[in-house]
Chains A and B, each alone.
Chain A
Amino acid sequence: MPDPDALPPLSLTVPEPEVRPGGQPDFSHVAIPRAGTVRRPPVDADPEEIRDLAFTIIRVMNREGEAVGPWAEALDFTPEDLLEGLRHMMTLRIYDARMLNAQRQQKTSFYMQHLGEEAISCGFQRALAPGDMNFPTYRQAGLLIAAGYPLSAMMNQVFSNAEDPMRGRQLPVCYSSREHGFFTISGNLATQYIQAVGWAMASAISGDRKISAAWIGDGSTAESDFHAALVFASTYKAPVVLNVVNNQWAISTFQGIARGGSGTFAARGLGFGIPSLRVDGNDYLAVMAVAKWAAERARRNLGPTMIEYVTYRAGGHSTSDDPSAYRPAEESTAWPLGDPVLRLKNHLIRLGVWSDERHAQAEAEILAEITAAQKRAEAIGTLHHGQHPSPVDMFEDVYAEMPPHLLKQRHEAGF
């Protein structure tokens, strides 16, 4: 052993992003394979033999808007399905813009948008069946939109008005709909990840056919519950899809702080023997293709799959965040994987089932639809105006049956 005193003193590594505000955006470190070049293994592939898929990026749409390669060939969606998918993404984007604006107008306290990440939740939902359950974070409203949850219900919650399905108890974006396979969102990060695994285990224990999907952001993968979920999912081969949305930023903290300098987020699954894939999160077709692959594995009782979606959070973390304080303003436009809405649009134009004119028309239609829904919601009430849930609701649902001490407090409060 060398003399410890003869060695230089130790120093700590603190990872830093490539560029800070004022610098030139640089994504040269993101290695992007050409679309269609990554193989598609059978769903019952030995996890050991597909370890490489945790380090590459599965892509389907090329720069010309063509769907190419083995993952494209396995897709069995009609152009109508894809047009519907485009509509989901456009709806989410326009909804986001309207709600962001509503927050600036003080009609709601808070909002979190999905700009640049629309393909992930909208695309993934297409792989699920009725009865399956998502355990989402606050940036997967596309799961609800693609599952047909009414926009008016979402808006009523954003405005905390009298029709708020959560009765004024939850933050504006923390939606919940059992019927639409959307587990109630928690603000505590990563807790839902292990719950999704438990739900999937329960389905398997019950001999059911339903599967679950866990959702987490890159930053929260550092939470212990992420690792708890991987342990349980791997141990019991739970029918769950473990999704990691790597949008590069956890508020102001770049993804390298959660990940360190090694591997990828998908690679975290490898140590658990979980098949792990990395996919272009801005490629609606690639998201659908990989989601279908993983969902089929779960349904065939082949166990969990981990998917890392490589994407970029083009907007702020929330309406309380100013991303220009920690990253170059042009970074979102420099993101090399492009805009998910534009890419699917171009693909559909290439297929001959869509056009710029029809796109503009659809945008106007969706905007009109959302504006009308917003007017109806605002007529009921917004954060500071109109009708709100009764304060008596505050005391309900703490327990199935109100215990005496709470009843006493409710009376004291005047209800």
Chain B
Amino acid sequence: MARMTMIEAIRDALDVAMGADPTVVVFGEDVGYFGGVFRCTAGLQAKYGKTRCFDTPINESGIVGAGIGMAAYGLKPVVEIQFADYVYPAYDQIVSEAARLRYRSAGQFTCPMVVRMPTGGGIFGGQTHSQSPEALFTHVTGLKTVVPSNPRDAKGLLLSAIEDPDPVIFLEPKRLYNGPFDGHHDRPVTAWKTHELGEVPEGHYTVPLGRAVVRRQGQAATILTYGTMVHVALAAAAESGVDAEVIDLRTLLPLDMETVAASVSKTGRCLVLHEATLTSGYGAELAALVQAECFWHLEAPIRRVAGWDTPYPHTHEWSYFPGPARVAEALRQLVEVA
């Protein structure tokens, strides 16, 4: 099996999709000739031509709006927003337009589009290159929201997203782009190259949307998480000595409630972990769902660990970013509740 970084896996997914389906088009700022600032689209223009992979003006609303028009025509656009922090000018197009075309045209027009964007912090990107806006999308009906945690899933989920008949928000944790992350911040960015690459099957395969996976088996507590925080959760479970089960949600909407409920019902304790700010975050939705579905199995109040309710800081990013120590402490407290 090939070994790849997440960037390579995403590029591979785009390559597989473009090779198999001439209606797949890829565009965004710096995406064409240069191959994207993170190089996720490198080589695609040379291989598929500049009308299938091209650079756009710096206009996020234009990128998504044009993508919607293309999707309505019958193409499958995969557009890149350079950083999730830049998606806000396109928010109206995503929320009011992409998410609702099928509904408001009674099925006559659809929007099979993927909006890819790097998300999250951990690379000293400051408050405009580090945000995790997933809750803004999971709140929007008509969208699907995906966050992979490793190269294999990134490729399989992206292929599923491209093949999906509805608009999909594909959030790529940039902390994981260049190699697996062991959950600790003390590895400098430059050392990523020395990390072990992920195993990624060659050719076409999919990881279905709406299916979570158990990353670590455990009996004492369940950690519900996704993206970069999967790795933090695994590190925290090992460090804390708590026999925690770690669920990687992979798709936030639709959510695999079956896997979630089975785990929490088994362990009786639940910790919700995400990097995005706490208040009204996706963790609130998870906590509410778990409370409703697993109330009689719960032995302690559901705990949430998340980014602080501040803009994402630059210098103090590792104080903001939930690390293994914070999560381990929360886990210990969670299991201590009688």
Residues of chain A whose beta carbon lies under 8 Å from any beta carbon of chain B: 133, 135, 165-167, 169-170, 174, 176-178, 183-184, 186, 188, 191, 193-206, 212, 224-225, 228-229, 231-232, 235, 396-401, 403-406
Contacts and interface: CB of A to CB of B under 8 A. Distances in A.
Interface stretch (B105-113, B182-190, B214-222, B323-331): B105-113
A404 to B, nearest CB: 6
Contacts of A184: 101, 104-105, 108-109
B106 A397 contact: yes
A178 B70 contact: no
Nearest to A170: B104
A186 B61 contact: no
Contacts of A169: 103-104, 106
B102 interface: yes
Given A195-B65, A229-B62, A405-B255, A400 B166 contact: yes
B210 interface: yes
A193 B97 CA distance: 12
B102 A205 contact: no
B96 interface: yes
Interface stretch (B72-80, B122-130, B268-276, B296-304): B72-80
Interface stretch (B7-15, B49-57, B235-243): B49-57
B104 A228 contact: no
A186 B93 CA distance: 11
Contact of B108 (A178, A195, A206): A178
A69 to B, nearest CB: 35
21 contacts: A166-B105, A166-B106, A174-B104, A176-B104, A177-B108, A183-B105, A184-B109, A191-B92, A195-B66, A195-B69, A200-B69, A206-B75, A212-B69, A225-B62, A225-B93, A231-B57, A231-B62, A232-B59, A399-B144, A403-B210, A405-B255
Given A166-B104, A191-B96, A225-B62, A399 B166 contact: yes
Contacts of A198: 65-70, 72-73, 77
Given A194-B93, A202-B73, A398-B142, 16 more contacts: A166-B104, A174-B104, A183-B72, A191-B92, A191-B93, A198-B67, A198-B77, A205-B25, A232-B59, A397-B102, A399-B142, A399-B166, A400-B102, A400-B110, A403-B254, A404-B254
B89 interface: yes
A165 B105 CA distance: 8
Contacts of A178: 105, 108-109
A197 B65 CA distance: 9
B287 interface: no
B104 to A, nearest CB: 5
Contacts of B210: 403-404
Contact of B65 (A166, A191, A206): A191
A232 B66 contact: yes
Contact of B97 (A188, A197, A228, A231): A188
B43 interface: no
A398 B97 contact: no
Nearest to A168: B106
Contacts of A194: 61-62, 65-66, 69, 93
A232 B66 CA distance: 8
A186 B70 contact: no
Contacts of B141: 398, 406
Nearest to A234: B57
A196 B69 contact: yes
Contact of A205 (B75, B89, B97, B254): B75
Nearest to B73: A202
What 10 A-B pairs have minimum CB-CB distances, sorted nearest first?
Answer: A198-B69, A198-B66, A194-B65, A228-B62, A184-B105, A202-B73, A199-B69, A403-B254, A195-B69, A400-B165
A201 B66 contact: yes
A399 to B, nearest CB: 5
Contacts of A170: 104
Given A194-B62, A398-B141, A183 B109 contact: yes
B135 interface: no
Nearest to A403: B254
Nearest to A195: B69
Nearest to B167: A399
B35 to A, nearest CB: 19
Nearest to A198: B69
Contacts of A405: 253-255, 257
A176 B108 contact: yes
Given A188-B97, A191-B96, A202 B106 contact: no
Q: Give the interface centre of A170, A205, A229, A405 by most chain B CB atoms within 10 Å.
A: A205
A298 to B, nearest CB: 15
B243 to A, nearest CB: 29
A196 B68 CA distance: 9
Given A195-B68, A198-B68, A235 B57 contact: yes
Given A135-B69, A186-B96, A195-B68, A232 B105 contact: no
Nearest to B209: A403
Contacts of A400: 102, 110, 164-166
A403 to B, nearest CB: 4
Nearest to B111: A195
B108 A225 contact: no
Nearest to A231: B57
Contacts of A398: 102-103, 141-142
Contacts of A225: 61-62, 65, 92-93
B169 to A, nearest CB: 14
Contacts of A177: 108
A197 B104 contact: no
A178 B110 CA distance: 11
Contacts of B165: 399-401
A400 B102 CA distance: 8
A196 to B, nearest CB: 6
Given A166-B104, A184-B101, A228 B69 contact: no
Q: Give the interface centre of A133, A166, A206 by most chain B CB atoms within 10 Å.
A: A206
Given A170-B104, A224-B61, A403-B254, A176 B109 contact: yes
Contacts of A206: 23, 73-75
A397 B62 contact: no
Contacts of A174: 104
A231 B59 contact: yes
B112 to A, nearest CB: 9
B51 A176 contact: no
B327 to A, nearest CB: 27
A228 B61 contact: yes
